[in-house]
């Protein structure tokens, strides 16, 4: 698959096979993230890779528990409201049961932390599509970055004290086999020319 096709046909996958992709494929996706641009070429994005089913289950339970304690306010982002509501109903698995979860982190106070990680996550999603893997950007750990219980869990699993969680990416084989690649018409993201 050539680069433009991989970009234009990339779609979020939210239903996965339980089969973990070969390590070589996971490493290729991570390498694409590591080669993303970064401010002043700092290369400070930290990639934490989770494939242990028990850890992923504990993480999902923790996230559901912590979201269920939150109250919804009018000024909250719509997806955050959805995560809180789903947690209050129970059975919320924020990572959709994907067999691989790559969490990105970067230095606290670093002005390009989010931008650098966003570039890395996008590279990984495009690489995943080119490798016939499904992927989806996951923000729940970023939203809970300052939550004490979540922070302690992430420190236990590789987050450094001077880092902030910037995002995440789930990865695996789509439940249907090949990821959905139907291009969706663009109705937003306006373009102006001068």
Question: pLDDT tens digits for 25-36?
Answer: 999 999 999 999
Residue 42 lies inside a defined structural domain of this protein: yes
CA trace torsion 26, 28, 32, 33 (10° rounding): 30
Structural domain that includes position 158: 19-64+93-172
CB 83 within 8 A of CB 143: yes
Tokens matching residue 159: 């987050």
pLDDT in tens, 33-86: 999 999 999 999 999 999 999 999 999 999 999 989 888 888 887 888 888 888
Token readout for 141 is 């750990």
Return the DSSP state at 178: S
Is residue 55 in a domain? yes
Are the CB atoms for 94 and 21 separated by under 8 Å?
Answer: no
**Distant-in-sequence, close-in-space partners of 191: CB < 8 Å, separation ≥ 6:** none
DSSP state of 158: T
Assess if residue 79 is contained within a domain. Answer: no
* The pLDDT value given to residue 169: 97
**Residue at 24 is within a domain:** yes
Q: Confirm whether 159 is domain-assigned.
A: yes
- Among residues 98, 104, 145, the alpha carbon closest in space to that of 122 is found at 104
Identify the CATH number of the domain in which residue 25 sits.
3.40.109.10
3-state secondary structure of 47: strand
- Residue 76: its pLDDT value, please? 82
Looking at the structure of the chain, the number of domains it has is: 1
Decide if 145 is inside a domain.
yes
Is the pLDDT reported for residue 177 higher than 90? no
Question: Residue 126: inside a domain, yes or no?
Answer: yes
Say if 72 falls within a structural domain: no
Structure tokens at 131: 């490798």
């Amino acid at each position: 698959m050539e680069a433009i096709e991989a970009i234009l046909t990339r779609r979020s996958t939210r239903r996965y096979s339980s089969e973990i992709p070969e390590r070589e494929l996971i490493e290729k996706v991570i390498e694409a993230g590591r080669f993303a641009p970064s401010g002043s070429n700092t290369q400070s994005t930290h990639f934490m890779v989770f494939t242990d089913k028990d850890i992923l289950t504990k993480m999902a339970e923790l996230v559901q528990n912590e979201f269920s304690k939150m109250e919804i306010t009018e000024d909250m982002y719509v997806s955050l409201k959805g995560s809180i509501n789903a947690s209050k109903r129970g059975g919320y698995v924020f990572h959709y049961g994907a067999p691989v979860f790559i969490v990105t982190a970067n230095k606290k106070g670093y002005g390009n932390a989010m931008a650098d990680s966003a570039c890395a996550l996008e590279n990984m999603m495009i690489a995943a599509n080119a490798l016939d893997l499904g992927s989806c950007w996951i923000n729940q750990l970023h939203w809970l970055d300052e939550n004490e219980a979540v922070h302690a869990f992430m420190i236990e699993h590789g987050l450094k004290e001077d880092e902030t969680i910037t995002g995440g990416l789930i990865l695996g084989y789509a439940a249907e086999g090949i990821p959905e690649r139907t291009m969706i018409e663009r109705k937003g993201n306006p373009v102006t020319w001068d």
